[in-house]
């Protein structure tokens, strides 16, 4: 199976070189890394260009979902079978590639989602609000879909591209350009009887001096939560 790793980037100059060093050492089963830069105003694009990896650069920040769409377009055009997501801020550990890929490659799963809250998972320096809100949201999603979920917003995921295209054939929709894409897709997966999915333990690590993430709780959370409801009741 041909594996593409998608790395979204927006103003990550302080994290990118460390991330690139990490994936140089940990590239388990990955055939190609694709950085997608979202109109960064710092030196992110220059750092990416200096690496050996493929990149796409967009002139403005249209949102994380838009980057997903561009990366999926690339995956389809270049005939990739498996799509892996790795955050550009280096909060995900590339050493966990094996954990998210092996269930697909060797156990015929279609969708794998990482969890920092499973046994053997790690949540390092997670901002307080997220450490409180994520378990609450995960319990709500568990009740809503009837499938146990421990880390509903963990972005470290892998999936079979053809299975996801069957679920979401019209994936290029403007309302999905922000944070909605990930949670809507996850909701569709949880709601499907055809998709075989599993959570696996992974490490999510924030730097000690990070008090908050780019997600603005009261502004962005509706666009994260509502797609779960839309996917369930559409």
Task: Look up the CATH number of the domain holding residue 120.
Answer: 3.90.550.10
pLDDT in tens, 161-207: 999 999 999 999 999 999 999 999 999 999 999 999 999 999 999 98
- Residue 130 is predicted with a pLDDT of 85
- Residue 220 is predicted with a pLDDT of 64
Q: Say if residue 60's pLDDT is above 70.
A: yes
Statement: the pTM of the whole predicted model exceeds 0.85: yes
- Residue 213 is predicted with a pLDDT of 57
- Residues 111-116, mean pLDDT to the nearest whole number: 98
Quick one: how far is CA 5 from the chain centroid?
10
Residue 2 confidence class, pLDDT cut points 50, 70, 90 = very high
Read off φ and ψ for residue 181, nearest 5 degrees: -55, -50
Alpha-carbon distance of 216 to 113, in angstroms, equals: 23
Q: Using an 8 Å Cβ cutoff, are 9 and 38 in contact? A: yes
- Residues 71-75, mean pLDDT to the nearest whole number: 98
- Residue 219 is predicted with a pLDDT of 62
Alpha-carbon distance of 39 to 45, in angstroms, equals: 9
For the chain, the C-alpha Rg in angstroms (whole number) is: 16
When divided into structural domains, the chain yields a total of 1
Q: Specify the higher pLDDT residue, 211 or 131.
A: 131
Range of 125's domain? 3-233
Alpha-carbon distance of 35 to 3, in angstroms, equals: 14
């Amino acid at each position: 199976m041909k594996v593409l790793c998608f790395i979204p980037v927006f103003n990550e100059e302080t994290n990118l070189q460390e991330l690139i060093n990490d994936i140089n050492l940990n590239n388990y089963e990955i055939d190609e890394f694709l950085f997608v830069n979202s109109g960064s105003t710092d030196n992110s694009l220059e750092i990416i260009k200096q690496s050996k990896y493929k990149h796409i650069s967009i002139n403005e920040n249209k949102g994380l979902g838009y980057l997903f769409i561009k990366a999926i377009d690339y995956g389809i055009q270049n005939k990739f079978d498996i799509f892996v997501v790795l955050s550009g801020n280096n909060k995900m550990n590339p050493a966990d590639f094996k954990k998210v890929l092996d269930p697909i490659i060797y156990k015929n799963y279609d969708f794998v989602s990482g969890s920092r809250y499973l046994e053997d998972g790690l949540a390092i320096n997670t901002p307080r609000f997220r450490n409180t809100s994520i378990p609450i949201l995960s319990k709500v999603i568990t009740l809503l879909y009837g499938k146990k979920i421990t880390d509903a917003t963990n972005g470290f995921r892998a999936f079979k591209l053809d299975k996801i295209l069957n679920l979401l054939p019209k994936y290029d929709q403007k309302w999905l350009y922000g944070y909605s894409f990930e949670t809507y897709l996850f909701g569709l997966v949880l709601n499907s009887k055809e998709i075989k999915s599993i959570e696996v333990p992974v490490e999510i690590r924030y730097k000690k001096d990070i008090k908050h993430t780019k997600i603005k709780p009261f502004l962005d959370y509706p666009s994260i939560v509502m797609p779960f409801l839309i996917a369930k009741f559409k």
